[in-house]
Structure 1
């Protein structure tokens, strides 16, 4: 069994989370996901996610916290281990460098888009824990606004 570690970012702004639609050049075209990517050899999950978001969206983020990883098998013998992080958008203007589209979704809109299967458990967790995650973000911004 091959396990592929992949990070993803739950980037929040104004009580909405950023969701990206996979382009025609990606596997699972047209499905929605939280942006991120594969961890490279010797790279930490946090460093991977910061790099991937810069490469995919041209923005800088801060990692606020992490959520429970989720494993999903798209093909026999291969498992994607999706490692989600709660993130704050710090700087830059979003440019879609790999994805087809993006949306900022409020909690009640999360189930409207067609998610990639590996992201669905994260969406479910986010839906249930939305208020706690929002509080975590507020606390993070309060603690770091003077840095």
Structure 2
């Protein structure tokens, strides 16, 4: 039985675009696109986690707007419970600590990417939102 890993991610809105990040070649799911985020630490709340992870991974500050539906995905060797938040970019210069690349895309362009499987339901839910 694979353990469930709780991971937060952020759909970050900046200038009416959406920030997406590409995993590097050495990560699990290499070169797949995702909403950036990271693992929830023990005794950490989800909002603190996503703010910390975005600061560590992308070097920017965000403000969290709302939580979306969890996405649980079994990758075989591990299972993740992806906890998405809709967020606004606040400040900072985007600098990638782990990812290979990032893009700021229109909502309509999101479906063109090769997404990590756990992110797919989140993309679909996000596309239905009125922002």
Asked whether the two chains share a fold, i.e. TM above 0.5, the reply is yes
Q: CA RMSD in A?
A: 1.0
Name the structure with the higher helix share.
Answer: 1
Which structure 2 segments of 5+ residues have no match? none
Deviation at 1:13, TM superposition (A): 1.2
Q: How does 1:35-50 map to 2 (within 5 A)?
A: 35-50=36-51
What is residue 71 of structure 2 aligned with on the other side? 70
Quick one: distance in 1 between partners of 2:89 and 2:128? 22
Q: Deviation string for 1:36-93 (max 9, x for gaps)?
A: 00001111111111110011001111111110111000015x4200000000111110
The size of the alignment, in residue pairs, is 130
Deviation at 1:25, TM superposition (A): 2.0
What is residue 57 of structure 1 aligned with on the other side? 58
What is residue 112 of structure 1 aligned with on the other side? 112
What is residue 139 of structure 1 aligned with on the other side? none
Quick one: distance in 2 between partners of 1:29 and 1:48? 23
TM-score (norm 1): 0.85
Quick one: distance in 1 between partners of 2:42 and 2:74? 21
Bigger relative contact order (CA 8 A; separation at least 6): 2
